[in-house]
Structure 1
Amino acid sequence: MKFGISLLPDCGPQNRSATDYYRDVLALSRNADELGYDYVKMTEHYIGTYGGYCPSPLNFLSAVATVTSQIRLMTGCMLPAFHHPIQIAAHTAMVDVISGGRLDCGFARAWLPYEFEAFGVAMDDSRAVFEETIEAVVRLWTEPAVTAHTDFFSFAGVTSTPAPVQAPHPPVWGAAIRSPESFEWLARKGFGLLVSPPPLRRDLWATRELIETYKRTYIETHGSLAGSRISIAIPLYVARTTQQAREVALPAIKEYLDVTADAATAWSGVSSSNYAGYENMRKAFEAITPELLAADAAAVVGSPAQVLDQVGTLAEFLSVDTFLWNVDYGGQDLTSMASSVELFAEAVAPMLRDASDEAVA
């Protein structure tokens, strides 16, 4: 079982400066490296408070590479719809070289209408451009002269430089949330799975069914689950007592949900065949009251003993081998984030790793 910290800022200049945010998450990443975490993950978004402080995961991870030595650097995720594959291949390889071969590349289709509008990209093309761009990037990493002609890009005889350090290429992951087609495609390609579960426990059964789709397709394509990777990004907060953990985490999670609901207002009057049901996302997030969150949050929140039990339950129910802990939700500062990250590493992670090793043995 592996663990990482997952970063998706939900703050803006009205409540926290970019300088303060970057300073804190860079320090937290260095701390995670020293504590033995496996990954630091940064997402890509633009324009608004929802993720607006992370337009370039690769820029951030390059900075992390200079102050860490072991932790792997994960884009979680880059958005191929807004980039040319030659750029992605070259920029990711550069970070892989700078970090000494520590980059994991996660990709996502993007989901915010205002981002597509700003970049002049049709939402109905998002799945096709996602798949074709990733396939082109892998070829650019691994082939000496690549030619590709699609509806979205065209080039001939391109040799991408620099080449990545990792052979044959950096590990590839793909984000999937609610579309079975995404889970199936990632499994067929042999890529890792990045899942963001719904905020409430009552809805986790749907995530489980989709992960089962990934597993079933992976076995059908590759003969076994060997090489498959299943991760979830989910909020974490550990404190000495459950009451302390909930007092910090629940209001911060609610703040994150409110920011997400505000971003989802962009779906008003918008629909896309590639995003069935997304037009209802704002109402779904707004319906999660503080009382409902307190009673049914899917987040991992509590004392070390409770968190240990919750992680074990989630790992078994969702077949998870990697937990990427959302830690910056609600605009938390370094003191708040570091307290939880350190306590998890000291009081919970060793027991989970030992149990995982015993299960393998």
Structure 2
Amino acid sequence: MGFFPVLSPDEKNAVDWYDESLALAELADELGYEHVQVVEHYFSAYGGYSPDPVTFLAAVAARTRRIRVTTGAVVPAFTHPIKLAGKLAMLDNLSHGRLDVGFGRAFLPEEFAAFGVPMSASRARFAEGIDICRRLWTGTEVSWSGDWVTFGPVTMLPRPYQQPHPPIFVASTTSPTSCAEAGRAGYHLQVVPTVTSREALQEMLAAYRQARAAAGHHGPGQVQIKYTCYLAEDGAAALAAARRWELNYIDKMTTAIASWATVRSADYPGYEQLIDKVRRYDFDRSHADNKVLAGTPAQVRDQLATIAEWFGADVTVCLQVNPGATPAAEAQRALRLFAEHVAPHFTGEASRALAGR
């Protein structure tokens, strides 16, 4: 289950959103979902209630017993790697080894400007940040001298609960090259289908799987695909809610990415086209293309079966049942409906196509 708070304070205050989200996380733990995942964003109604995923996930870990806590994702470019590695190792211990670490590059120009980080440094800081965290988790008397940070020798405490370190995921939006790099490194993968076509996502996953196999890493790796999900016994009501909240999401995303109309960065090729893609969003087409899960449990089961055919039965779907201001009762009902009426219809490898079943 994922959280991406797309809402403004006039829609729901932060205290209420945190309380409702933590209650959802407890329910997900009770119902047997695999993980709770949360993003890192700043300043705007597009994710701004989640500037620190580690803080939120520490609260989740304290309220749950089995469910994994997943960053989806933390941004190495915005945090000193010693600080980031220490926070994540601490969370791994607080959760008794339930942490999965997703790293992302970020993509909003205003966030980079606020941190004083040039966008041209994002790719290098991303790769360096992951490498430093991994070395601090696994080594002692670690030293580093690079373009960004220099330190050492230091030995990180606490050591991670999971050995040699928590599972590492890499978040990718549109780039087969980034997916291939993640595969070669032996990392896992987090992707979002919202702004890419089915064929492009299939290309990304193929690049990841081929590169991972060619590098000789054990197993296929884990792939998480993130979807919003609207479930109700009344399919029309579910679709109405989906249309409302998806258009709300697109409206806030359009505002957040507006600067891409004038910003250009070699580290983000093609992102100047992102705003046009978002402005052309069509809910009915998105739903028909299975980028949004919405309807009765039977209808969503059919969507998931198609998704498994497209992307492989070994993928894990990360469900977001509250993309912001959805009433708490609706989100809880959707979570229960999925667990009771969707998940039981998938067995064996196909069960990996579900959100943590």
TM-score of the alignment, normalized to the shorter chain, above 0.5: yes
Q: Give how far 1:205 is off.
A: 1.1
Q: CA RMSD in A?
A: 1.8
Cα distance change of structure 1 residues 204 and 84 upon mapping to structure 2, 3 Å threshold: same
Q: For residues 39 and 177 of structure 2, what CA distance do their matches in structure 1 show?
A: 22
Cross-structure match for 1:214? 208
1:36-94 CA-partner distances (Å, limit 9, x unpaired): 00000011000111110000100000001111000000000001110111111110011
User: Is residue 188–residue 222 contact of structure 2 (8 Å, CA) maintained in 1?
Assistant: yes
Task: Provide the residue aligned with 2:99 in structure 1.
Answer: 103
Ranges in structure 1 where 5+ consecutive residues have no aligned partner: none
Post-superposition Cα deviations, 1:252-292, rounded to whole Å, max 9, x if no partner, equal: 11111111111110213111011111112122111124554
Structure 1: distance between partners of 2:177 and 2:66: 34
Partners of 2:217 and 2:54 lie apart in 1 by 34
Q: Is the 8 A contact 2:4 2:324 kept in 1?
A: no
In structure 1, the partner of 2:340 is 346
Residue 316 of structure 1, CA deviation: 2.2
Match of 1:59 among 35, 55, 67: 55
CA apart distance, 1:297 = 5.4
Which one of 94, 109, 112 corresponds to residue 113 of structure 1? Answer: 109
Q: Does 1:249 align with 2:249?
A: no
Q: For 1:1-361, what aligned pairs fall within 5 Å after superposition?
A: 5-198=1-194, 203-222=197-216, 226-290=219-283, 292-293=285-286, 296=289, 298-319=291-312, 320-354=314-348, 356=350
Please report how far the alpha carbon of residue 177 of structure 1 lies from its aligned counterpart in structure 2 after TM superposition. 1.4
Cα distance in structure 1, aligned partners of 2:213 and 2:287: 38
Question: One-letter code of the match for 2:148?
Answer: F
Q: Residue 187 of structure 1 contacts residue 215 of structure 1 at CA under 8 Å; is this kept in 2?
A: yes
Q: Aligned partner of 2:136: which letter?
A: L
What is the CA–CA distance in structure 2 between the aligned matches of 1:104 and 1:125, rounded to whole Å? 25
Give the aligned residue type for 1:118: A
Q: CA distance change for structure 1 residues 345 and 270 in 2, over 3 Å: closer, same or farther? A: same
- SS of 2:257's equivalent in the other structure is helix
- Is the 1:190–1:227 contact (alpha carbons within 8 Å) kept by the matching residues of 2? no
Give the total of aligned pairs. 352
Q: Give the CA deviation at 1:8.
A: 0.7
Q: Moved runs in structure 1, 4+ residues, more than 4 A?
A: 290-297
Q: Compared with structure 1, are the counterparts of its residues 215 and 294 closer, same or farther at alpha carbon in structure 2 (3 Å cutoff)?
A: closer
8 Å CA contact 1:77, 1:105 repeated in 2: yes
For 2:249 and 2:161, locate their aligned partners in 1 and report how far apart those are by CA, in whole Å: 37
Task: Give the direction of change, closer, same or farther, for the CA distance of 1:244–1:355 in structure 2 (3 Å limit).
Answer: farther
How far apart are the structure 2 equivalents of 1:358 and 1:239?
23
| Percent of aligned positions that are identical | 38
Write the distance in 1 (CA, Å) between the matches of 2:290 and 2:136: 42
Question: What is the rounded CA distance, in whole Å, between the counterparts of 1:247 and 1:169 in structure 2?
Answer: 43
CA distance in structure 1 between the partners assigned to 2:323 and 2:49 by the alignment: 13
AA of the residue aligned to 2:153: G
Q: Within 2, Cα distance between the matches of 1:310 and 1:94? A: 38
SS in 2 for 1:350: helix
CA contact (8 A) 1:250 1:293 kept: no
